[in-house]
A = this chain, B = another copy of it.
Amino acid sequence: MNRTPTDPFLPPQRLLLGPGPSPVAQEVLTAMAQPTIGHLDPAFIGLMDELKAMTQTLFNTKNEATFTVAGPGSVGMDACVLNMIEPGDKILIARNGVFGMRMSEVASRGGAVVVPLDFEWGTPVDPAIVDAALAKDKDIKFLAFVHAETSTGVLSDGKALGAVAAKHNVMTIMDCVTSAGGVLIEMDAWGIDVIYTGTQKCISCPPGLSPVSFSPRAIEHIKARKTKVLSWFLDVTQVMAYWGGEGARAYHHTAPINSLYGLHEALRRLLLEGLENSFKRHRAAHLHLVAGLEKRGMEMLVAPACRLPQLNTVKIPAGVDDPKVRRTLLLDHGIEIGAGLGPLAGKVWRIGLMGEGARTESVDRLLAALDQIMAKEHA
């Protein structure tokens, strides 16, 4: 490629079956290409209100403090953790993969005292063990966990963990980056205080935004802080003056206008399909994939009961050259799948069936490509 830096960029066509980003519908791409308007334009304020209503539906919550952070899911994590904790606060972080580890890092940089509770990668967070840990240390103020671990493909039980937290009167932070839109979230019914997600997984919108929601109790807690939130940009009380519904909107930051057009269209499509139908579609694609992999003698990492339909970790067969297979899939077949992370590096592939990618046709295309590659490998 004899490119100069000022040649136009034309991306290759890929079928995105990795851990995100997921495939994006043409309607969402087209929505993003609409003309930019101002972040205080009455038409844009209307869009923000609709985004809020759709995000409330996505999370099954009535929380007023439901909005979109202008950064990818990692910024949503920063926003949720740093608003809730103050230096010296004790937070129990259940860790069963990369993103639980990352939450620990975020919380400890924010000055919290992290109480880690580790589970084997590939297994869910055990509510009974969390219960025991909370019973043992009455100073713990928060429980944080990852609903759907993107690094392992495991679903933890948000309802049970919410109930355990309620029993011990601690507030909950739930990472829903990979769960939202793919499996059920009932923020209010489960008693979850803080949720963040990303747009590039089951919502099938390009990466770069993080829808979040804070319960009234969480907002009260933030308003009663003794110290200021460490990041001015992420301070929820400030952001809400822009996103909130109380009269005039105060300028806080310049919202990512066109990205929010895309999110509006992606959520609109998801809700028109219906969340239940989306969950069913994810499940059907997942079962089709698992059957296809098992038929080929491959084995899933995670036990059936807690498998994420949208993120499938399959053990790499013995003797297979992991990087080579993924590279061939990407460059010769135009299909992206994900590598294992941390202790699972080289041991599993992560196959995402997220949002627009959760279709049995996508699964068939992947399996056919894998068959070809494996046949050549062993030829």
Contact = CB atoms under 8 A, between A and B. Distances in A.
Contacts of A324: none
Contacts of A77: 233
Interface in A212-239: 228-234
Interface stretch (A122-130, A132-140, A259-267): A259-267
A8 B254 contact: no
Interface in A126-170: none
List the 10 closest pairs (A to B, CB-CB), nearest first.
A208-B256, A33-B33, A206-B258, A74-B253, A71-B71, A29-B33, A207-B254, A5-B53, A5-B50, A24-B36
**A-side interface mostly:** loop
A11 B261 contact: yes
B109 A229 contact: yes
Contact of A9 (B20, B38, B47): B47
B6 A200 contact: no
A115 interface: no
B50 A198 contact: no
A223 to B, nearest CB: 17
B208 A44 contact: no
A265 B6 CA distance: 8
Copies of this chain, complex-wide, total: 2
A70 B6 contact: no
A259 B261 contact: no
Given A41-B336, A70-B208, 4 more contacts: A11-B44, A78-B233, A78-B234, A200-B254
Interface string A305-347: 0000000000000000000000000110000100001000000
A46 interface: yes
A72 interface: yes
Contact of A35 (B24, B43, B272): B24
B50 A257 contact: no
B14 A74 contact: no
Contacts of A102: 232
B74 A206 contact: no
Nearest to A230: B230
A54 B102 CA distance: 32
Contacts of A259: 206, 208, 256, 258-259
A120 to B, nearest CB: 22
Nearest to A337: B38
Nearest to A53: B5
Interface string A236-274: 000000000000000111111111011011001001100
